[in-house]
Chains A and B, each alone.
Chain A
Amino acid sequence: MEEQLEKQRLSDDEYIKERSDFLRGTIKESLKNPLTGALHPDDVKLIKYHGSYQQHDRDLESERKRQKLEPLYQFMVRVRVPGGITRPDQWLILDELSDKYGNGTMKLTTRQSFQFHGILKRGLKPTIKAINDALLSTIATCGDVNRNVMCNPNPHQSQIHEEVYEMAARMSEYFTPKTTAYHEIWLDKEKVSGTPDFEPLYHETYLPRKFKIALTIPPRNDIDVFANDLGLIAIEENNELIGFNVCVGGGLGSTFGEKATYARLGDVIGFVPKDRIMEVAETVIAIQRDYGNRADRRNSRLKYTIDKRGLEWFVTELNTRIGWEIESPRAFRFDTNGDRYGWLKGTNGKWFYTLFVEHGRVKDEEGYELKKALREVALVLNGDFRLTGNQNLIIGNVEEADKMLIEHILTQHGVLNHPKLTGLRLSSMACVALNTCGLAFAESERYLPSLIDKLDVIMRKNGLETDEINIRMTGCPNGCARASLGEIGFVGRAVGRYNLYLGASHNGDRLNTLYKEMLSEEAIIEALEPILTAYAQEREPQEHFGDFVIRKKIVEATDRPVRILA
């Protein structure tokens, strides 16, 4: 009876998961239906666990309706790249797939994955098959499971980076679902009869909501560790990795007009030696699995589970489950959550070139042939490609001798020394939004570049063209480009209208605060010009813009600072 009532209160997604037979649903049949480019509604939810979202071209929505055509259904496919490191041969295959099945571009995401857009239903299987043939995967890049595990690329400190990266890769692997549905549907593997599916960690209804893990090595916070459900801060002692500070309960998404939803940074609850970190990570996920809200998806992320019962409750629960007590956190310091561009020498003597990729979109434009250039680089490179958490790309492990060649290729295609590469642009992030994202209220990726053109006029006027103020835009309050951690943050409210947020820290440990709502472009310029001018004139040495606006009381500092337990 209690059971019953409990069940009735569950969200629809829970029932879909339950009846899906470990994420199979009717995906196979849906793929076959020749009369529509879409999937069965249940399968639309289930396919996320396989790494794809059903979308449609929102630019053509009303036009096609008039033409008596269904929406132009197409699929986004997200490729899991633990720690964001791929080999040149893999890059070449992905590049090719984007032309063959996608819209001819690749999106480097804010979580170090690749995304393809515009794949038609019939292209879905060949694409996913090819990705797997290249020894990459799309499984669990979406859905109520642990996502792609982030790890900062951190090239200039490679001796512990190698080990931290290994850890990220191991977690990513360890926490992927065990169902064989993926292999049956996409890789034509026969289900071995008499072998029931078993999900040791997730069980048959998986997690209440998505779960995100990131690892970082101070002083870099370029993966925004505090934005994750579980953030791990590497602690080293005389160049040896000894363990991690554990932060829990990060998450940036919210819904306008719903007070019960909000952006929240993770709290640092303690330190765990490296050999026990897996156990702790698994236990954190298990707690969220058992206590997370399965009735209201808007309140089901770990951050809400923790705020509902209290951080102390959480630590106790964790300690009891593992049967020992985690230590108190070690000291750490972050300087920035941005990327450092250009050549950096790793401690292994190899070179790393961090390349700005505007909003992660790898494509060719008149006079700026990024996609071609990177293809050529991939053909000669015997190092690797590393995606950063800021939608950028590192051409990694380059031999001294090859530096010239690579610079030459990039220059040839107009990618290097691009005049538009000001400090502001280099510190910008924007989410995908229109025309593919189904949740977008406003433009983001397609709009921010032109807004920055206009803001740069002000920056130059004030001699700020090289200043790195991190500026982020999203098309809705879900926060995919982590706008709530932008020193200047824009969140779309409606086409051409944005909320303006100010005052996040430069290193990702303080959320920004709402400054003005519903601004048009003119209003945005009007609002920012005096503040930027004042910043140029009145800032203190080394003072970052985010700190300046708070000192000047232009906005209040957030009332949700990161907690660090003693």
Chain B
Amino acid sequence: MDFKKGLERGPFSDKQAAQLHEALSGLDTGQLQWLSGYFAGVAASPTGAAAVVAGPAVAAAVTAQQLTVLYGSHTGNCEGLAKNLATLARSRGIEVEVADMASFKTRDLKKVSNLAVLVSTHGIGEPPVQAEELHQFLHGKKAPDLSHIKFSVLALGDSSYVDFCQTGKDFDAVLEKLGAQRISTRVDCDVDYEEAAEAWQQALVQAISQASGANATTEVTVKDTVPAEAPKYSRKNPFEATILEKINLNGKGSSKETIHLELSLEGSGLTYEPGDALGVYGTNAASLVEGVLQAAGLSGEELVQGHNGEKPLAEALTYDYELSPISSVTLAKYAELTGSDKLKDIAADNQKMVQYLPGRDMLDLLQEVPHAFQADELLSVLRKNAPRMYSIASSQAAVEDEVHLLVSVVRYEAYGRCKEGLCSATLSDRFHVDDKVKVFVDRNSRFKLPADPEAPIIMVGPGTGVAPFRAFMQHREVADFKGKSWLFFGDRNFTTDFLYQTEWQQYLKEGILTKADVAFSRDQKQKHYVQHRMLENGKELYNWLESGAHFYVCGDAKQMAKDVDGALREIIQQHGGVTVEKAEEYVKYLQRSNRYQTDIY
């Protein structure tokens, strides 16, 4: 139907007529009948007021879509992306609700129509703490029917882990199983997630808009998805920071090598907060590049078009790709390329991969299953050189445009050769004072000092885990926080491995640090670790928690974080005099109220 202009236009102004035309064009008869009934109702009401209210409702009923964005994040990447998605979707007239999985009420799933899930994987293929409950709920007996939901999943991960993006995959599968329909396909992101994540956002928003009849405008610039205050340096465009100071903190005769680095951020405009990490790009050792080239039967001079522009192969291998460790993806690709049954068999089986990958580098792979390569063929199987994260060990309040790191150098012997960590060995062997390192700030909204300066903090940071706590101390000193603080530190030997010893002693002397307990595992026959010190001080630790202390753990994820978590539960149980279940709740409560934060790796 159509509204005529002029006399035939009825009781409407031209403008109104035009609007009505716009609003009603393309409605099918059913819709028009519904509307006539609706307007009858409005006319019947004593005043026309309802119509005014109903006005927008009409428009909504016609176009606006709802989108619920759920994120499960540990170090904040998914959280950041979730907020970008919200901005983008809103800019397309979609009504968006963003929620952290931890605080999302599962009964609200009923109200959800469109659902975007952004979730990372932690531990060894496990959901981040924030996602645990929802993950369990959906996989459990009480899981509801979700056939009313349209969804899409963005999975963040790190392909150097065998269970790459496992949690994302879980959500994707379980939502489907519960009857929900996929609006756009899942995207698995490696540590360089920006581009892939952006593509996923575009596709999703597009799909939702299309689903709503509204003719979605597609000329959306990338800017929409980048937060306004984005610094000009980023993971994709790292800053070249000059090394000001480099010290191996381990005393003569130590079995370890832990480097204290001071970098200059001068002129970068980069800022960070205690708890954030710094991303650092390393390079491959010349010897390894050499070895790989030989094994691949290539000279290194071949010009190749890598992800970082055209350059000689040797250069690309040194700076732009990883030769160690090998990622599961690389293994799979290489298996395909070579058609090796042995490798295919391994790549097909997680268990076998877990056995096979650790300790092997690209050279091992090429030697075990040789292949005559084309230069670009080689690149195609390799993982892009991914930055390594280092918890920042300084506070800008104290060091201004410097940033300090504490790096434990990875060296080990495997498969007949001395292996080294790509990034840590770069910082130890290849970069020296005055050299430049490519870095960017990686915010971690989930590891922050309490807002309340009076709140006590308990810091558990053995080994390099102590890094962010040095930042905490520097910050509290300058900001003159009054809250009590308690450090648990541990390492191998007291005389050589007490990282930042003189600084902790000074902080204690000045009362900026209230209490410190240390455990050195190799100074006596029986091994002592931080969790043992916690248990010894259980009563007092519990009292601190009761008086509102925030509990922080940083460092090794494989063993330490688990043992410390266990000790914490034991302490709560014993000194709170409660059951395992209650202790469990207590811990969950601490986590949800952000009083139990971990930065583990």
- Residues in chain A within 8 A of chain B (CB atoms): 34-37, 60, 63-70, 72, 120, 122
Contacts and interface: CB of A to CB of B under 8 A. Distances in A.
B504 interface: yes
A70 B502 contact: yes
Contact of B249 (A36, A67, A120, A122): A67
Nearest to A65: B502
B495 A67 contact: no
Contacts of A122: 494, 523-524
Given A34-B518, A37-B495, A120-B495, A68 B251 contact: no
Contacts of B523: 122
B494 A37 contact: yes
B502 A68 contact: yes
A356 B260 CA distance: 48
Contacts of B501: 35, 68-70
22 contacts: A34-B494, A35-B504, A35-B508, A35-B516, A36-B505, A37-B495, A60-B251, A63-B251, A63-B252, A64-B251, A66-B247, A67-B247, A68-B247, A68-B499, A68-B501, A69-B249, A69-B251, A69-B495, A69-B498, A72-B495, A122-B494, A122-B524
Contacts of A35: 501, 504-505, 508, 516, 518
B250 interface: yes
Binding site secondary structure of chain B:
mixed
Interface of B: 247-252, 260, 494-496, 498-505, 508, 516-518, 523-524
B541 to A, nearest CB: 17
B247 A69 contact: no
B473 to A, nearest CB: 13
B251 A67 contact: yes
Contacts of A37: 494-495
A68 B466 CA distance: 14
A60 B524 CA distance: 24
A426 B248 CA distance: 44
Given A68-B501, A70-B501, A70-B502, A60 B252 contact: yes
A69 B503 CA distance: 9
A68 B260 contact: yes
Contact of A68 (B249, B495, B508, B524): B249
Contacts of B505: 35-36, 70
Nearest to B249: A67
Contacts of B503: 68
Most chain A CB neighbours (cut-off 10 Å) among B247, B260, B494, B495: B495
B248 A67 contact: yes
Contacts of B496: 69
Contacts of B252: 60, 63
Q: Which 3 A-B pairs have the closest CB atoms?
A: A68-B502, A68-B500, A69-B501
A122 B496 CA distance: 15
B409 to A, nearest CB: 15
Given A35-B501, A60-B252, 10 more contacts: A34-B518, A35-B508, A35-B516, A35-B518, A36-B505, A63-B251, A66-B247, A67-B251, A68-B500, A70-B505
Contacts of A72: 251, 495
Contacts of B504: 35
Contacts of A60: 251-252
Most chain B CB neighbours (cut-off 10 Å) among A63, A66, A68, A70: A68
Contacts, number: 49
Contacts of A65: 502
Contacts of B249: 67-69
A119 B505 CA distance: 22
A72 to B, nearest CB: 6
B568 to A, nearest CB: 21
Contacts of A69: 249, 251, 495-496, 498, 501-502
A40 to B, nearest CB: 13
Most chain A CB neighbours (cut-off 10 Å) among B252, B260, B504, B518: B252
B496 to A, nearest CB: 8
A67 B253 CA distance: 13
A128 B250 CA distance: 30
B250 A67 contact: yes
Contacts of A68: 247, 249, 260, 499-503
A36 B503 CA distance: 12
Nearest to B533: A34
Nearest to A38: B505
A69 B247 CA distance: 12
Most chain B CB neighbours (cut-off 10 Å) among A35, A63, A65, A69: A69
Nearest to A66: B247
B118 to A, nearest CB: 40
A507 B568 CA distance: 72
Most chain B CB neighbours (cut-off 10 Å) among A35, A65, A70: A35
A339 to B, nearest CB: 37
B516 to A, nearest CB: 6
Contacts of A70: 501-502, 505
A69 B248 CA distance: 11
Contacts of A67: 247-251
A461 B495 CA distance: 49
A240 to B, nearest CB: 56
B95 to A, nearest CB: 54
Nearest to B496: A69
Nearest to B516: A35
A397 to B, nearest CB: 40
A70 B497 CA distance: 11
Nearest to A63: B252
A130 B44 CA distance: 105
B556 to A, nearest CB: 21
Most chain B CB neighbours (cut-off 10 Å) among A34, A60, A67: A67
A514 B334 CA distance: 82
B530 to A, nearest CB: 13
B591 to A, nearest CB: 30
B249 to A, nearest CB: 5
A67 B248 CA distance: 7
A68 B259 CA distance: 12
A63 B504 CA distance: 18
A84 B518 CA distance: 42
A483 B517 CA distance: 48
A35 B501 CA distance: 8
Nearest to A60: B252
Contacts of B494: 34, 37, 120, 122
Nearest to B519: A34
A36 B523 CA distance: 14
A228 to B, nearest CB: 38
Nearest to B248: A67
A63 B251 CA distance: 8
A122 B500 CA distance: 21
Contacts of B499: 68
A72 B501 CA distance: 12
A120 B250 CA distance: 17
Nearest to A36: B505
Contacts of A63: 251-252
A181 B524 CA distance: 27
A60 B251 CA distance: 9
Contacts of B260: 68
B559 to A, nearest CB: 22
A68 B504 CA distance: 10
A275 to B, nearest CB: 53
A209 B508 CA distance: 35
A29 to B, nearest CB: 15
A58 to B, nearest CB: 13
Nearest to B250: A67
A34 B503 CA distance: 15
Nearest to B258: A67
A60 B504 CA distance: 20
Contacts of A36: 505
Contacts of A64: 251
A68 B503 CA distance: 7
A35 B513 CA distance: 13
A120 B496 CA distance: 12
Most chain B CB neighbours (cut-off 10 Å) among A34, A37, A120: A34
Contacts of A66: 247
